[in-house]
Amino acid sequence: MKIKGKVIKGKGEGRKLGFPTANVLLAEKIPSGIFSAEVFFEGKVYQSAVFVSPDNNFLEAHIFDFTGDLYGQEIEVLIKDKIRDIVPFESDEQMKALIADDIKKILFMKQ
């Protein structure tokens, strides 16, 4: 499934945890969860971990090996495999560990 949209500012929660994200509003409902994905920007393809909110208002893409400012830029996100459902967490440390594990799984799947 491909989603194209402009990157908007979020709450900055991913950045605070050490996993900055590019946030894109969703025009239509898609399944929620954590997914492997590819982000296309300026002719390049970046592996990514994507969070789709349970309310289906937006997606957040943590783009691997990317530095720069994407606010206001249009990106295309190709959602690939579901990694897991969204689970509650009790602390920021637990969330960091879950995200790090998701990234390891995505990188392993690419090999």
Domain boundaries, the chain: 2-110
pTM of the model: 0.90
Residue 111 pLDDT grade (very low, low, confident, very high; cuts 50, 70, 90): low
Render pLDDT for 31-87 as a digit per residue (tens, 0 to 9): 999 999 999 999 999 999 999 988 878 899 999 989 888 999 999 999 999 999 998
Task: Specify the CATH class of 2-110 in words.
Answer: mainly beta
Q: Which residues have C-beta within 8 Å of that of residue 105, sequence separation ≥ 6?
A: 36, 83
Among left, alpha and beta (phi > 0; psi -120 to 50; other), residue 76 is beta
Residue 110 has pLDDT above 80, yes or no: no
Higher pLDDT, 27 or 23: 23
Q: What's the confidence (pLDDT) of residue 9?
A: 87
Q: Rounded CA gap, 62 and 52, in Å?
A: 12
Residue 13 pLDDT grade (very low, low, confident, very high; cuts 50, 70, 90): confident
